[in-house]
Amino acid sequence: MEPFDHASALEGCARGDVASLRRLYDREAGFLLAVALRIVRRREVAADVLHDAVVDIWERAGTFDRSRGAGRAWITSIVRHRALKHARAVGRETDLDPEAGAQIADEAPDPFVALAALQEGARLHGCLSRLDADRRQVILLAYVDGLSQSEIAERLGTPLGTVKAWVRRSLIALKDCLS
């Protein structure tokens, strides 16, 4: 993909320039929808999440500060938090029994495998591959699939306390590796 200046587009949004939002949308809507869909699992809900997130991006663009972080990460985090809020609010555990969850996970692309093929994913892939498979999965199930710690514990058949300890240790190891 050609480089795209997310920060400038966001600064355009902050000035009230709808064309800037449109450029950002044209560039990222498909990606952002995929992020939401992976977390909320339902197409119509994911479309609502995207809608609300784009409105959020527009309304909060004034708080974006390019010296504090990258624009693409900023908009992605808005979508993720929206999607997570939704996933938590509806208490997804009830409509996804572990078997169905595992099946969805099997059908969806494995982010760890996909990362290897992505140029910008090499660093993260390298650091994740240093973790034990279980601990790596904890991080990816949380980040990519939006599972809560208890959902992860259920999915992996691991006690909640163990999952919490793995999260902590994995984060510390990743911080060290990714810095």
Partner 1 sequence: MIPSEPEDRDVLAGEYVLGLLDAEATTEVERMLGADADLARRVAFWEERLLPASAALGPAEVDPEQWARIERDLATRRQALGHTTALPPARPRRSLWGTAWQSPALWRATTALATAAAIVLAILPNRVSGPAESPTRYFAILQSRDAAGQESGPGWLIQIAQNGTVRSLPLADVKPGNGRSLQLWTLWDQARGPVSLGVLPPGGAIRLPPERLEAIGDGQLFEITLEPEAGSPIGRPTGRILFIGRAKGAATQSL
For the segment 120-179, give every residue that binds partner 1 (CB under 8 A).
120-121, 123-125, 139-140, 142-144, 146, 148-149, 167-168, 171-172, 174-175, 178-179
Cα separations in angstroms, 71 against 38, 44, 138:
21, 26, 26
d(CA 159, CA 74): 33
Which helix (H) or strand (E) element contains residue 35? helix 18-40
117 binds partner 1 (CB under 8 A): yes
Binding residues for partner 1, total number by CB under 8 A: 73
Binding mask 31-60 for partner 1 (x = CB under 8 A): x-xxx-xx-------xx--xxx-xx--xxx
The one-character DSSP state at 110 is P
For the segment 70-109, give every residue that binds partner 1 (CB under 8 A).
70, 72-74, 76-77, 80-81, 84, 88-92, 94-95, 109
16 binds partner 1 (CB under 8 A): yes
Report whether 107 contacts 113 (CB < 8 A).
no
Contacts 24+ apart (CB under 8 A), 116-124: 123/178, 124/178
Report whether 148 contacts 88 (CB < 8 A).
yes
In the complex, minimum distance from the CB of residue 97 to partner 1, in angstroms, rounded to a whole number = 13
Which is nearest to 46 in space by CA: 72, 19, 12, 80? 80
Nearer to partner 1, 69 or 102 (CB): 69
8 binds partner 1 (CB under 8 A): no
In the complex, minimum distance from the CB of residue 127 to partner 1, in angstroms, rounded to a whole number = 8
Nearer to partner 1, 99 or 120 (CB): 120
